[in-house]
Structure formats: structure tokens, C-alpha cells
Chain A
């Protein structure tokens, strides 16, 4: 089946540094990629939606200058958490969708811990 590869799976960084998370669709071209964050025992919260070659659309309350999203190709999207702070510590997940229809696949997630 289709696979979405997300790296790294876990990252620990110092406050003030930037962290980049990659999301790749391995055997299909993703028209749209989504980024979510998830706090313990909470549901997935959509942060932004990105279409290849265009600017990401951010959900209300999500700082676009804080969470930089790049979707440079149909198989790769990156999320950069800039100047990370402890409150940014969370589980970040990407998903990739083919067209507008049924195929939606999730990455395995990245646990970010900011010290």
C-alpha cells in the first residue's frame, strides 16, 4: 500500500533552535499535504494545508512565521518549527492526499521535545 515517510520520528532540541520535519510520499504523488499537531490523549489538530507549488493555508491561531511549510514537489513537504520553545513540544503528523478523493495516508509522526 501507499506509504508516507516522516522523519525524524523523535527530536529533542534546545529552546530557540529551529527544527525541520520531512514528509515524503514514497510511491505516489500527493496533491495535497496536511500538517497536524497532537497533544497527549487529544485529537489531531489541523495546522495547515499545502498544495504543491503554492503557499500553505494555515488554520486560525497557527502562526505561519512560526511554522514554516514548504511543499516544493509532489512527493515532499517540510514543516520547520522556528525558534522552538517548550510549549511547541508536541507530536506532529503529516498526511498526504491524492487528488480530492479517497486516498489519504498518514506519516508515522514526529515527537518534538523542546528543552
Chain B
């Protein structure tokens, strides 16, 4: 079973609207959680990274939250733009000898005019 589950699998919203993407994980012991944006045919680009002690981090119109107790994270996108259409990937790193990376399957976001 995948240790990082993202929801929804896909999402369509109107330009200008807000949306929230979810990431639940079971990775333990926890090291950090990252959100990436991946445009089609491109490599992922980092949006935010949070460690255990951080519960919110913003990057422009992107705000990530982390609840390490419930092992949940969300990515909130404010005032969406057409260029926000992409896949958003949650990656959780384990605090072990290999610092293994665990990838969610991503949420595909489509912003329409």
C-alpha cells in the first residue's frame, strides 16, 4: 500500500477560484514533506518543504499546511490562474538511514477560463 495518498485524483476549477489538495501519509519516522508542481512533459518544481516543527508555509499563492499528529498535509491555491494547470505531487521523506522518498500519485489540476 502506498504510504502517501493524495486526493482528489483530479480536479477542475474555474480561473480565479481557490482550491485545496490533500495529502495523507503513513511514512514513519517522518523527516519532511514537500509539494511539487509538475507541468506536462517537464520535471517537478519545488513549491514548499516542511519539517516536523512547521505547520504552514507559503510560496506566493500556494500555502501548504502540515499536521504531523494526524499525518495530513494540504496545499491551498488562491486565486487560481490558467498556468496553475499541472500535476501536484506530495513527497514525504522518512527519517531513516536511507532518507527514503515516498511519492504520492499526484493530483491533476485543470484551471479553465
Binding site for B on A (CB under 8 A): 4, 6, 34, 41-44, 46, 49, 91, 93, 95, 97, 100-102, 104-109, 111
Contact sample, A vs B, 7 pairs, CB 8 Å cutoff: A91-B41, A93-B43, A101-B31, A102-B49, A102-B51, A106-B43, A109-B42
A6 touches B43 (CB 8 A): yes
Nearest CB of chain A from residue B28's CB, rounded to whole Å = 17
Residue of chain B at shortest CB distance from A10 = B41
Is B101 positioned at the interface, with any CB of A under 8 Å from its CB? yes
- Select which of A100, A101, A102, A109 is within 8 A of B43 by beta carbon: A109
The digit string for B84-102, where 1 denotes a CB below 8 A from any CB of A, is 0000010100000011010
Residue of chain A at shortest CB distance from B4 = A43
Residue of chain A at shortest CB distance from B102 = A46
Interface residues of B in 57-113 (CB under 8 A from A): 89, 91, 98-99, 101, 103-106, 108
Is B32 positioned at the interface, with any CB of A under 8 Å from its CB? yes
Is B46 positioned at the interface, with any CB of A under 8 Å from its CB? yes
- The tally of residues in B whose CB lies under 8 Å from a CB in A reads 22
Nearest CB of chain B from residue A33's CB, rounded to whole Å = 12
Nearest CB of chain B from residue A6's CB, rounded to whole Å = 7
Given contacts A105-B46, A106-B36, contact A111 B41 (CB under 8 A): yes
Residue of chain B at shortest CB distance from A34 = B101
B106 touches A43 (CB 8 A): yes
- Which chain B residues border A91 with CB–CB below 8 Å? 41
B103 touches A43 (CB 8 A): yes
Given contacts A100-B99, A108-B43, contact A44 B32 (CB under 8 A): no
Assembly CA distance A46 to B106 (angstroms) = 15
Assembly CA distance A93 to B38 (angstroms) = 12
Nearest CB of chain B from residue A111's CB, rounded to whole Å = 7
Given contacts A41-B108, A43-B104, A100-B99, contact A106 B45 (CB under 8 A): yes
**11 extra interchain contacts, Cβ-Cβ under 8 A, other than A43-B104, A44-B89, A109-B42?**
A34-B101, A93-B43, A97-B99, A100-B99, A101-B31, A101-B32, A101-B99, A102-B51, A104-B34, A104-B101, A106-B45
